Amino acid sequence: MYVIVVGAGKVGWNLARELLEKNHEVTVIESNRRRYLTVEQELEHNVTYGDASELWVLERAGIERADLVIAVTGDDEDNMLICQVAREKYEVEQIIARVNNPRNKPHFDLLGVKPSVSATDLILRLLEHEVPEYGLVHLLDLQEEQLEIIEMLLGKDSGVTGRRVGDLSMPEGSLLISVLREGKGFVPNADTVLEEGDEVLAVLDPGREDDLKALFGPAVGGNGTG
């Protein structure tokens, strides 16, 4: 595979190393003369000097026959436009763009530059994975009346998404009272089908939390009370 990497910073340089080790053909384009000379000592003819925003620089690097263009400079506009011309003018099959400022992500999407990778997003996704997602939030504790109301967010691997409310075996002493979907709340009936991202509200006898968590949490084997 022929890969063009734009930007010989830490990301670009290491990426090029990995790709070369895997026996791909690689050209790195770097616009800073000093950085270019440093990287050139190791990558030799695999790195070229120039501003990849300019079409002739891309053409000199052989973009017409590239299978993949990866833009990982520190400048979001550069990354966006390099990938845009790579795909639309030179019909490169696959592109990957780096997003430096996550607030620019919508601009990448608007210009059709996909996929785009943001380090901030990756860390967030990791966090979501590592931190328990099915935390249930106590909304109301009626101590005297011996009742609680709790809220749960249905994650991707929840055991109940796609199922009818009527088919759920709700633990004894609990009742599903409301579903919040896309900012709107409604009272579910037996035919309501639960979706990923729903926030469900339930009223229950104290001490039933674990049973509910097992039912609405990630599907494991035969899920809890099911």
Contacts with another protein by CB under 8 A lie at 53-56, 75-78, 80-81, 85, 88-89, 103-104, 106-107, 110-111
Residues 6+ apart with CB under 8 A from 194: 154, 158, 160, 161, 162, 163, 165, 179, 188, 200
Residues 6+ apart with CB under 8 A from 120: 102
Give the nearer residue to another protein in terms of CB position, either 88 or 141. 88
Give the nearer residue to another protein in terms of CB position, either 7 or 171. 7
Q: Count CA atoms within 13 Å of residue 29 on its CB side.
A: 26
* Shortest Cβ 106–another protein spacing (Å): 8
* Shortest Cβ 107–another protein spacing (Å): 6
* Shortest Cβ 127–another protein spacing (Å): 25
* Shortest Cβ 80–another protein spacing (Å): 6
* Shortest Cβ 84–another protein spacing (Å): 9
Give the nearer residue to another protein in terms of CB position, either 73 or 174. 73
Give the nearer residue to another protein in terms of CB position, either 14 or 120. 120
The rounded distance, in Å, linking the Cα atoms of 198 and 69 is: 38
The rounded distance, in Å, linking the Cα atoms of 6 and 73 is: 6
Give the nearer residue to another protein in terms of CB position, either 63 or 150. 63
**Helix H or strand E encompassing 117:** strand 116-118
* Shortest Cβ 72–another protein spacing (Å): 16
Give the nearer residue to another protein in terms of CB position, either 106 or 221. 106
Using an 8 Å Cβ cutoff, are 27 and 47 in contact?
yes
Tokens of 95: 């592109």
* Shortest Cβ 108–another protein spacing (Å): 10
The rounded distance, in Å, linking the Cα atoms of 203 and 214 is: 16
The rounded distance, in Å, linking the Cα atoms of 71 and 6 is: 5
**φ/ψ of residue 142, rounded to 5:** -100, 90
**φ/ψ of residue 65, rounded to 5:** -110, 10
Give the nearer residue to another protein in terms of CB position, either 76 or 198. 76
Q: How many CB atoms lie within 10 A of CB 61?
A: 20
